[in-house]
Structure 1
Amino acid sequence: PSFVEISPSGFVTDTIQPADVLLSASDNCGIASMSVSPNLVDCSLIGDTLHVTLTVTDSSGNATQCQTFISVEAVPPMPSAITNCGSDSLMLFANPPSAPGNNVYQYAWSGPNGFVSFEQNPIILDANEQYAGFYTVTITGITGCTASGTLQVTPSQLPVSTPQLQISADTICDSEDFILSVNAAPSSSITYHWYSGTPPSGTLLASTQQPQLVIEGPHPGGTMKFYVVKERNDGCVSDPSNTATIYIVAQPVAVTTPTSITVCEEEPIALGTSVSGVGVTYQWTGPNGFSSTQQYPSVIQSATLADAGVYQLIVYRFGCASEPAFTTVNVLDKPETPVPSNPTSAAAPACVGDTILLTATPVAGAV
């Protein structure tokens, strides 16, 4: 059995030639003619197997015949793909068999990552490793005849996709670490080049095969910017990523005013701090359930012994916490009220010039 190929365009009729089915022939009188019947095929027969008869006639008019099978196959499209290093586009080409006229075929593409297209030569924008795999294009001629071709696109043929840089925090303290990362699995074929600044004039910080980089503190205060570039082991480099920004906050210093207070029972306790500014918040805690978020907390109007102890202040600047500062409050017992004693009375008044001795009940610790 042999085969013939025919265009699926619907415009072409092909003739089966004796050479398509005959391996060899000889005759003592010499061969005068050879013919195949049936010998005409069009694309409606694609996929069919025909039973054909070959007739060979010699120069004396003697003829002999043999039968065989011949399959009819479509001339397939020969799809191809092109990418440009540094670009993020994958260009596909159907490359259909030639046919008279324009717009002879309709096209249907399918491929990885849910790809579908009905263009002859589609372009996949922002192509990445998820688009590696097999692409099939099916062409349909004007009479409905079809043919398909398949193309494999390997990861090394794809553009190096532009990375999306992420940063672990928007705002941090100047002593804290933070992480730059790309949402991708580690790959021995990809190197990440990490930069501070903005493209294309950034300063290279490090190159890693891990899709993340830890930036250790301390850091200078203010705004810092970063970007990353991917490089494949064939030397193809991606476009720079988005620029990620982080704000570095200098750690505030908490100061309490005063640092020590001594009051008697029922006297007021006033706490405060001189620290202030944009983005500054406060957290006071202390004895007897004391809590406040004010720079100058509400005055404790009447101190009790339960209010004695250490009061702590933590100052935050844009969420960055200070080391704690303290005010120690001592609350002294209020002495007992003495009971006075007067030796005189209305019935026993003192005379002018007399000495009067006034006394009171003793109070411990009184002066």
Structure 2
Amino acid sequence: MNPLPTATASNTGAYCEGQTIQLQANGGTSYHWRGPNGYVNFTQNPTITNAVVLDAGTYYVTVTDGNGCTDSASTIVNVAVCPEICNNGIDDDGDGFTDCQDTDCHNNISLSANGATTFCVGDSVTLVAAGGVSYSWNTGASSDSIRVSTAGTYSVTITSNSGCDSTMSIVINNNALPTPTASNTGAYCIGETIELSATGGTTYSWAGTK
């Protein structure tokens, strides 16, 4: 009498939506997998790409050894919904139009700015991420908010309580400072009219001494 094989089944999860599920089995020379949604596969260590929540569940494998004897095992696959990030209608590029519309965010995860994202050199704005359990900015910061003054693209990876990561970016633009010039048509004699002139802006405020 031939001994039965000892089947084992495992996976490398948990997984987030969009990741690749890796199933693993041992104990035989041929393998027959069955799983949710009519899943069937006849390889030892099959993969399922672009995982969705419907792929979660129990996967069963029947292994057959060289003597034709069989054994079965199972493994539970967990697939978490990745959070969706809203940018709260922010006008990233300052063109007067919001670059995406508000949507219903899973787990209320969001990225926003507490002011204009286009401003003069020397000003700043605070970027605020919310709804996650941890945050990782491309500046190296790990807090839920950062204050920025330099033009560029600021990205944050937000990790949800399900362990899924989502990344969102905001573009910060700096308006160049004006280059003012001031002159007059003097020198003047007492009683003449002093004429001052300036360029470089759209509004002007003069001050002087007597």
**TM-score, normalized by length of structure 1?**
0.27
TM-score (normalizing by structure 2): 0.46
